[in-house]
Amino acid sequence: MVAQGEARLRCDRCAPLRREAQFAPVDDAKRPILLKCSGGQDRTSFAAALYLLHTRGLAAREAADAQFARWPYLHLPRRQQRWLKAFLTFAQEGAGTQKLREWIATTYSPEDFSAWLDARGLGSTFKGLQGPPRIPAPKDNARHKV
């Protein structure tokens, strides 16, 4: 994890890729920052890695990659989460000399990323992110009286 503190950022399923608006909470937050994802290490690691690349530049790639370390979590990402770490390479290749925020706002395309993943055998890891997130039907918890 990058840091602890007062500010909490919501890490939704697709949030890190929703253009530059996602960087505003990081830019405006008091330091240190606590990143928390109720779903587990993968998206938290992704948010922490993006934070490092955003605040320190693409030269912080080694520190960003370290956010996905298996130790001490002893965690292997699920198949559908393997795109998260691959995105760092895609971003570094695509951004060139642009800052991450600028590249995401002006150039990033989910379709290009999907094609990039396909070319590396990871295309199936990015499913569900091309369109709006699926919202599960509400569970009917009401008790029925007979």
Question: Per residue in 99-114, pLDDT tens?
Answer: 999 998 888 888 899 9
Predicted TM-score (pTM) of the model is 0.68
Domain boundaries, the chain: 7-126
Exposure string for 48-74, b = 16+ CB within 10 A, e = fewer: bbbbbbbeeebebbeebeebbeeeeee
Q: Consecutive 10-residue runs of the chain (146 residues): their mean pLDDT?
A: 41 48 81 76 85 93 90 70 91 93 89 93 73 52 50
How far apart CA 40 and CA 37 sit, in angstroms, is: 6
Question: Per residue in 51-71, pLDDT tens?
Answer: 999 999 999 999 999 988 876
For residue 34, what pLDDT is reported? 82
